[in-house]
Structures are given as structure tokens and as C-alpha cells.
Amino acid sequence: MESEMRCNVSEMWSHKITKGLDLEISHHPLTMKRVANLIIAVEKIKASTSESVLSTEFRDENLLNILLDSIVEEQIVFESESAPPVEFCSTGVHPCTVTDSQKRSLVFLQDTMELQAVMLQGGSENRKVHLNMSTYVHPAPITVARPVALGIKDTDFYLSCHKDGDQPTLHLERVDDKNSLTSISSESDKVRFLFYKQDTGKNISTLMSARFPDWYISTAGQDNKPLETCQATANRYRTFNIQRQS
């Protein structure tokens, strides 16, 4: 049966190639790929001029080149899965006090949902807010800064940064489930709660938004003004004295 099929294929193509050449198939092409290679090779021989194929200059090497050029290459495409998003994982929570570079304390105004920088006088220290600073480890460690989240102690309010109009703004948001901040995906909307704490001296740090690089928590030149975000070129105070409490 196989011998008969080889003969039929040979006879089918022999009359189509250049006169003076015979096609003999010694092995049956077992796959469609081999059949395709055979058909392409025959078509290329047909496309060659009779003189070039039948001339004494036409050698086995020329025929081999035609056959090699006709081989159908099999391409295997590997689908690479995109890397999973990185996670910010909490390593602990540390109570702390925060003052700006002008030694002003932070005061929480619940009516306006603001943290303001205020120069407190003697006897009014009880107005100062204490923050819970949650520290995080980044899968790709950043040596110059550490991710942190800042919440007002004994409340459910956390500082967050998201766009309100054309530029990032600072907000206080209620977080009912604090466990939801234990692990934060880099692609999650909860990245708005993270800030990069970069130390510039002993207990002196800047706090840059993780969601909006180059935007920092800052205070104004005047007292009783709310904390806001700004860029490095703004005429505002961007450094804070952050003291951990035991």
C-alpha cells in the first residue's frame, strides 16, 4: 500500500517538473509538514529555468540548497505569563509622635477631617495627636526609603494620597478593616495609604507618596494650616521629626 502511494505521488508530480528530471520518492512523507516540504521543493524546481537545472553546472549541492530553502520551519511560541504584582507586607506597628521642621505638632480637627501643624503652648500638649506608623517590607527592597502607613492612634483614620482634580491631595480616610492593610498589592488602590519614609538625619525624615512619586507630605509656613502634598520645589516644609514611642 505504501509502495503504491509513493508511486502515485511520484507520477502526480513527475510531469510537472522540468523535462529531463525525474522525481522519485523513496520514503512516504508521514506528516503534513513533510508533504508541505515536498510540494514547496517541487514548486521551486519548477520555478528554476530549464537551462539552469539541466546544465552541467547544476550539481547535487544546488539541489540540496533548493530542498533546504523549501523546508517549513516549525515555530514554537511560548506564552510567558506576566509576573504577579509585588506585595507590600506589614512588619509591625509603632506608636510615634510627629513634629515638622518648625517644631510644630500635629492636631486632629475632626470637624474638617484635617491634620494641622500647630505651635502648641504649655498646657495644651494634650491636643497633640499620636500616630501609629505601620512599617512594610518591599519584595524589591529600596535601600533609601521604607514604605509606611500612618494612622491616627485610637481611631480608624489613615492618611492617604489620591488625585482630587489635577494633582495629588492628602486625605484622612476611615479604614474599618485594618487587617486589609496587612498586605497591599502594588496594583491595588490601597497603595494610596503608603508613603516612602526616607531618613535624612537622626529621626528626621521625608514622607513621599508611594502612589505619586515626588509628591511629599508637607506643612505650610503659617500655623493652623492643614498638611498637604507638594513637590520638592514648593515653598513648604517637607521634613518631619518622627519619634517612636515605647
Please write the tens of the pLDDT for every residue from 232-242: 999 999 999 99
Range scoring the smallest mean pLDDT among 1-5, 37-41, 68-72, 187-191: 1-5
Phi, psi (deg, nearest 5) at residue 37: -60, -40
Residue that wins the pLDDT comparison between 72 and 60: 60
Give residue 21's pLDDT.
Answer: 56
Q: Give the model's confidence band at 125: pLDDT under 50 very low, under 70 low, under 90 confident, else very high.
A: confident
Q: What is the pLDDT of residue 123?
A: 76
- Ramachandran angles phi, psi of 163, nearest 5°: -75, 135
Mean pLDDT of 97-121: 94
pLDDT of 164: 82
What string of H, E and C letters represents the secondary structure of the chain? CHHHHHHHHHHHHHCCCCCCCCCCCCCCCCCHHHHHHHHHHHHHHHHCCHHHHHCCCCCHHHHHHHHHHCCCCCCCCCCCCCCCCCEEEEEEEEEEEEEECCCCEEEEECCCCEEEEECCCCCCHHHECCEEEEEEECCCCCCCCEEEEEEECCCCEEEEEEECCCCEEEEEEECCCHHHHCEEECCCHHHHHCEEEEEEECCEEEEEECCCCCCEEEECCCCCEECEEECCCCCCECCEEEEECC
Residue 46 predicted with pLDDT over 50 = yes
CATH of domain 87-244: 2.80.10.50
Per-chain mean pLDDT for the chain:
81
Nearest to 231 by CA among 166, 173, 174, 187: 166
The band of 70, judged by pLDDT with boundaries at 50, 70 and 90, is low
Do strands 183-185 and 168-174 pair parallel, antiparallel, or not at all (unpaired)?
Answer: unpaired
Q: What pLDDT does residue 245 have?
A: 86
Instruction: Specify the pLDDT at position 2.
Output: 47
Residue 56 binned pLDDT confidence (cut-offs 50, 70, 90): low
pLDDT of 18 over the 80 cut: no
Is 171 or 15 the better-scoring residue by pLDDT? 171
Span between the terminal Cα atoms of the chain, in Å: 91
CA distance 23 to 81: 47
Instruction: List, as own/partner pairs, every contact residues 10-19 make where C-beta atoms lie below 8 angstroms and the sequence separation is at least 24, other chains included.
Output: 13/42, 16/42, 16/46, 17/42, 17/45, 17/46, 18/45, 18/46, 18/48, 18/50, 18/53, 18/54, 19/50
Cell of 19: 523535462
Hey, where are the domains in the chain? 2-69, 87-244
Query: 63-73 as b/e, with b when 16 or more CB fall inside 10 Å?
Result: eeebeeebeee
pTM of the shown model:
0.66
The number of beta carbons lying within 10 Å of the beta carbon of residue 52 is 11
Q: Which of 20, 79, 81, 26 shows the shortest CA–CA distance to 55?
A: 20
